Structure formats: C-alpha cells, structure tokens
Amino acid sequence: MLPAIVNLAANIQAAHKIVFLTGAGVSTHSGIPDYRSKSGLYAHHANPEYLLSHENLQDHPQDFYDFVQQQMYYPEAKPNLIHQEIAIICQNKGILITQNVDGLDQQAGNQHLIEFHGNLYDLYCQKCGQTIDYEQYQQDYHHPEDGGIIRPRIVLYGESIDPLVIQDSIAALTAADLVIIVGTSFRVYPFAQLLQYCSPTTAIFAINNEPITTSGIELLQMDALTAFTKLKEVLD
Ligand SMILES: [Zn+2]
C-alpha cells in the first residue's frame, strides 16, 4: 500500500471533524464531464461562461435551456465509490462542501452536505417561485400554469453565492482538524478562498490528478477513484 494513503487513512481515523472539499474530478467517474478541464465541456463551446450566465438566462432563456439540457444534465448518472466513501465518513464525523451541482452526493445519501454552487435538480419557476420537478423541466422551461421561466437553483456567472452557504462553510472549516480536497484544482473563487478559515494546525490533504498551487497542502497527485479504492481497503 502507498505510504501516502496509509498516512491519510491514519489522519482520517485520528480526526474529530473532517471537511471534504470536492470538485468535478469526483463526478467524472460517474460519467459527468469536467466542464473546466481542457477535454471537458468548455473546450467545445465558444463562450460557455456566457451560456451559463445570469444575463443569458434573462435575455436568451431558450439558449440557456438548450445548453444546460444538452451539456449539464446527466439524469442517468449514479454516485461512485468516492461519493459513497465520503458519505460514510461524513456520517460519523465530517461535512462535505462540494462545487458539484449534479446532485450525486445527495443520491449517495450524504446528509452532511453543503452544495456550494447549488443543485441542478432543485428547480423553480422564476415568476411564482413554485418548485418544479425535473421531468417537467425536461418537457419545457416554461411553467405551464403561468408561463414563468423555470430555472435550476445553481449559481450562474454574474450571481452571488448564498450568504448562508458561505457562513455554514466557514463554520465547518473553522471547526475542522482535517481537510481533504478531492478532484479539484482549487482555482474557482470564492470556493478556493475557504481554506483561509482553517486553523493553522489543521492538516490539509489534496487528492487530485493535477498539481495544486496553494501552499501548505499535502498533495497525493493521483486519480481520485484509485485513491479512494485504496483508502477504503485501509479503512475497512
Ligand atoms: Zn410559475
């Protein structure tokens, strides 16, 4: 077994409060493309930041709808071993703060979850505020009752993170004695700024394919699924 994995497992066993910070690299193993990686979603679209913006939703709701339906929603996707292992650890002594909007951590049964950028399947009508289910949104983005435009409760470009979400995330990181970053290069703000709220004594690990430039992090530069498969062997 890799010494780095054994060391991380020992840190997990010794910790009292763990915070996981996860990104696209967790859900790529469930068949959801990483929309920020070179081979991911953004490479195929001229201006994805605009397509995923508040402005586009307001001015061109059909374009917005077409883009998210074709590129963001993977309703057949299922949680993988990483989602499941994180959910198990969180059940005992952890909180997960995820950048992912795919809902797979909820599907994995994680009840200690902060969806930092929202959830694609949390849909509502902008006109009346009514909650809409995904099956209805798949048919049409207009609310049949009032013609209002339906949208997912995710944070678009040009929108702010819910202050309560930030507050809860800061509280979790302030209390943590172990932080584990998984499947994100940690370049998205304000998500990447969360680490500044950790205590100086908090151990910070990262499992990611690509290097992370933030200092003070012990990096296991490897595939997240490989790492969690090995980690599960040690922890079980
Ligand atoms: Zn409505």
30-38 long-range contacts (CB < 8 A, ≥24 apart) are 30/74, 30/77, 30/78, 30/79, 30/80, 30/83, 30/102, 30/104, 31/74, 31/77, 32/74, 32/77, 32/100, 32/102, 32/104, 35/71, 35/72, 36/187, 36/188
Task: Give 36 or 39, the one with higher predicted confidence.
Answer: 36
User: Is residue 117 flagged as an active site residue?
Assistant: yes
| Rounded Cα–Cα distance for residues 96 and 87 (Å) | 8
**Predicted local distance difference test score (pLDDT) of residue 40:** 54
pLDDT at 82 over 70: yes
**Predicted local distance difference test score (pLDDT) of residue 15:** 98
Q: Return the percentage of the chain with pLDDT > 90, whole number.
A: 83
| Rounded Cα–Cα distance for residues 111 and 106 (Å) | 7
Compute the distance from residue 133 Cα to the ligand 1 centre, in Å. Answer: 12
Q: Between β-strands 150-154 and 118-125, what pairing exists: parallel, antiparallel or unpaired?
A: antiparallel
* pLDDT band of 36, cuts 50, 70, 90: low
* pLDDT band of 49, cuts 50, 70, 90: confident
Of 67-71, 73-77, 147-151, minimum mean pLDDT range: 67-71
Compute the distance from residue 60 Cα to the ligand 1 centre, in Å. Answer: 18
pLDDT digits (tens, 9 = 90+) for 58-72: 999 999 999 999 889
pLDDT at 45 over 60: no
Average of per-residue pLDDT across 141-170: 97
208 contacts 185 by C-beta, under 8 angstroms: yes
Question: Beta-strand (E) ranges in 59-117?
Answer: 94-98, 113-115
| Rounded Cα–Cα distance for residues 173 and 197 (Å) | 6
**CA-wise closest residue to 128 among 105, 147, 153, 152:** 147
Compute the distance from residue 142 Cα to the ligand 1 centre, in Å. Answer: 8
123 contacts 133 by C-beta, under 8 angstroms: yes
Compute the distance from residue 111 Cα to the ligand 1 centre, in Å. Answer: 29
Q: Which residue ranges form the domains of the chain, and what is each CATH number?
A: 1-32+79-117+160-236 (3.40.50.1220)
Compute the distance from residue 124 Cα to the ligand 1 centre, in Å. Answer: 8
Residue 141 phi/psi, 5° resolution? -90, 0
**Predicted local distance difference test score (pLDDT) of residue 155:** 96
Determine which one of 29, 83, 112, 117 is catalytic.
Answer: 117
Q: How far is CA 129 from the centre of its chain?
A: 25
* pLDDT band of 46, cuts 50, 70, 90: low
